[in-house]
Structure formats: C-alpha cells, structure tokens
Structure 1
C-alpha cells in the first residue's frame, strides 16, 4: 500500500473549529507541562550524584561528550537530547490532528512558541554582569552548571524552536499558494497584504536571524570580531533585539501566542534578578 500525505485541506464547521482551538490550547499546556516535569527530573538526578564522582575527573571523556565539529562547544549528547525533545514536541504537533492540514500547521507554531519561556529561562546574563558566575533560572532550579545550560540554550533555538516556527510558516505558505481567491488569483496574494501574516513572517524571520547571528562558542569565523568583551556586548545587544522583535511580532500575529510572550517577559525579569543575585 502506497504511503500518502496524511493531511488535507478540509472545511470545518464552527463547532469543529472550536474543538480544534481547544486541542491547540491543550497541546500547548502539555508542551509546557513537559518542561516542568523535565526540570523536576533533572533536579532529582543532580540531587543524587553517582558514587563514582571522585573518579569522574580521571575517566576518559566519552564519544557522546565530544563536540560534533571541531571548535564547537555543543556535544553529541546535547544534540541528542535536543533532538529527542524536538521529536517529542513534533509528536504533540501530530497528535489528534486527524487529516486536518491547518490543524497540524497551527500546532507547529503553537508548540514552538510554547517553548519560548524555557528558552528565556536558560539564557545567561553574564554579558550584562561581565562575570561567568551569573546563573540563569534553569541553572538554579536544576543545579546544572551555567556553561552547560548555556550550550543547551544556544542549541535549543537552532534544533527545536526555529524548525517548528519555520515549518509553521512553510506549510501555511503552501496552503495560501494552493488556495484560490476570486479577486487576487491565489490566497497567498491576498493574505500577504494582511498585517497578521506580515507580523508572522517577521517573527519567523527574527527566529532565523537569531540562528544566523548566534555562533557556537569556539568558532573563529563569523561577524563577531574584536576583544572578547566587545564581542559579548555586541552579541548580547543584537541577540536581545532580535528576540524582542520576535516576541513582539508573535504577540501581534495571533492571540494564542500572547500568553507565551507574556510568560517569556515575566521569566526574563526573574532571570535577570537571579543572575544578579548570584554574583553579589
């Protein structure tokens, strides 16, 4: 039996649209509940160190703890964990979508934005405090060293959030291009003029820009030149501006994203307080 694309363009009644909206909200709750469970699990693991911890420094580093590419900071283990998390979120996007193409497409964006608060909670503030001892909220809650959390912060954006948001935009554009409009020829020609779509494109563009301008630690090429202090300051300012524009665009783009943006803003403030408290 030949495999076929499981999703199709279908028309829904108003009750069916309401049910789809409720499922989208529910999968966002599940995605964020997964974050809380993961933090609790990590905290439990770090609370009971292995009995061979005194000999850990004498052991040879495993293949999983080596960088994927020479000069990169992120390890194979970190890539594996982030890709596993991405697969879990992708499962949430597929769950209970049936054959509704737009349900799956909306789910990609909704689940992707639900991870913004975690991304903010992992972000270090030593670019502001000028000390690597500053801890993020996730580092404090899990007792995981901030350099390790920072590596996941960088990788999480590239491997988890950006692919989900780009996929959301890509599949929506395909839908617009393949749908006709009586006055504009294609629905794409009509919708590209609408502010909500323009803000959505802006949000995805900012997500891609964050990936482009964020270089792995240890990389010798790229736009970040000069002293370490100047590179950190320039990177931090650019990074925060891009993420701020992403959040603003997502907030205006669709009402369902507003709760995630407000959560991210609140965690950003808490994270700054935690970072400053740890260096005093």
Structure 2
C-alpha cells in the first residue's frame, strides 16, 4: 500500500537502525532550533529595550542605534492585533514560520518510509514540550524572564502558538498511525495494547486542552480553563512515558520544568 511517495516498507534490522538515527537526529535539530529562536528573541528584546536617551548620544548611522530602532519598530508592529481574538501579527508570522520549519524537519529524509514519517511527527512534537512548559512559567523567577527581561505576556503569546503546533503535529501522528492500522487490518487489535491505550487517553487530553485553550472558552470560564490546563499538562507526561520510550528524554525535561515551576512558585510566595 502506498500514499503519494510513501509506502509500508518491510520491517528489517537495517531499516529500524537507520530510521532511529534519523528520528533522533531531526528531533534534536528541532529542539536546538528552539534555543536558537529564543536567543534571537533575546537579542531583539535587548535591542528594543535600549533607552532612547542612550541612543541620542550615538551617531544616527551607528549600527547599534540602527539595530535598536529597527528592533523597537518591529516589536511595536508585531504586537498589533490582527483582529479581536485572532492574535497578533507576530504570533501569525512566528506560527507560520515555525510550523513550516518543523514541518520540513518532519518530512526531510523520510520518503518512502510511511512509518518513519508517522513517527517523525510525534517525536518532533514531543521535542517541543520542554520549552513549551518553560514558556508558561508565570512568576518573576521564570528563567526566560530573568534572562531576557521580557514580559510574561510575550512568553504566553509564544506559548499559545507552540501549543497549537504541538497539538496539530500530535494529531497528524495519530491520524497517520490510525490509517496504518486500518490498512493492515489491525486497528481494533492495536487499541487493546497498553501503549496504544495510553496514547488514546493522551490524545483525548490533548484534544481537551486544545478546545479549552480557545479564546472563547478562556473568556467564558477562565477558572475551568486554568484547572483543565494544569491537570492535563501534568497527566500527559506519565501517559506518554508509557506510550513509547524514545520520547522519554523530552518528558524528563518537561517534568524538570514542572518541578522547577512548583519550587519557584513556592519560593516566590514566601518572598511575598
């Protein structure tokens, strides 16, 4: 059975080894890319925060002054709302660019292996979880806030975008696997396996998080949104842990962020 340039390849030791090497390689690239993006945001935020008084004494053609003016102008324009409830221009530009980049990482060097493509979407999505959790840390002791001096609102604007991308990629992963099991006539048999059961529960949690994260739901009942988001984001880590072992490194990183978040919240409340 084939789909476009993809087909179900025979499972051989060589194929499994090569697939695993490529899966880990591209997942690592996806996570490292996150760090690079946030370093760029850090630089732009720093440049935009340079006081005008400091720039006044510098040459108008100086590189620092020019970069600062460009960064400040972009910072303002990207923060403008596209429309009520539709996010900012910055969110849309970042979202489209980041989705395209991660989509490329999901597809590159996968053909004609259908299962490689399927697994790649899931692994790339998992690689984005630690930073996604880190962006949600709200208190002033958040590492991202301390390093970049950027606001919680900016972190959350990125968090909302990455959340949608992660859910979308997991949804593609689930859909492709469902097609695979249907085609080999093992769909009902597969859902009896424990690792598939936890995957289905995780999918239900992701769907719930996606629905309750919409602006409409948040505005109507923020308390429920917050509780569902908090509980769901914690529950999904152990569930995915028992789904497959190749994503556990990213789950451990995410768990560390959650623990760090709890500790820093406690420290922050004691300081107050």
TM-score using structure 2 length: 0.82
Greater share of residues in helix? 2
CA deviation string 1:105-160 (max 9, x = no partner): 0000000011000110000345xxxxxxx3533232322211111122122211x1
Answer whether contact 1:177 1:188 (CA < 8 A) is retained.
Answer: yes
C-alpha separation in 2, matches of 1:9 and 1:46: 47
- Mark the CA change 1:103 to 1:68 in structure 2 (over 3 Å): closer, same or farther: same
The answer to whether residue 169 in structure 2 is matched with residue 164 in structure 1 is yes
Residue 140 in structure 1 maps to residue 154 in structure 2: no
Match of 1:151 in 2: 157
Q: After the TM superposition, which residues 11-50 of structure 1 pair with which residues of structure 2 at under 5 Å, given as runs?
A: 11-49=10-48
Pairing partner for 1:102 from 115, 136, 139: 115
Q: CA deviation at 1:48?
A: 2.4
CA 1:15–1:220 in structure 2 vs 1: closer, same or farther (change >3 Å)? Answer: closer
1:178 aligns with 2:183: yes
Match of 2:227 among 216, 233, 237: 237
- Report deviation, 1:254: 0.3
Distance 1:105 1:263 in 2: 23
Q: Distance in 2 between matches of 1:93 and 1:220?
A: 31
Unaligned runs of 5+ in 1: 127-133, 180-185, 225-230
Does the CA-based 8 Å contact 2:218-2:225 persist in structure 1?
Answer: no
Structure with the bigger RCO (C-alpha within 8 Å, sep 6+) is: 1
1:247 is aligned to: 237
Distance apart, 1:221 and its partner CA: 7.4
In 1, Cα distance between the equivalents of 2:128 and 2:217? 30
CA deviations 1:186-219 (Å, max 9, x no partner) are 2112101111111112112211111111233xx4
Contiguous gaps of at least 5 residues in structure 2: 56-68
Matches of 1:68 and 1:45, distance apart in 2 = 21
SS at match of 1:253: coil
Separation in structure 1 between the aligned mates of residue 247 and residue 49 of structure 2, nearest angstrom: 41
Give the drift of 1:67: 2.4
Distance 1:147 1:64, change over 3 A: closer
Please report the TM-score for the alignment, with normalisation by the length of structure 1.
0.80
Deviation string, structure 1 residues 80-115 (Cα, Å, up to 9, x no partner) = 102211111111111111210000000000000110
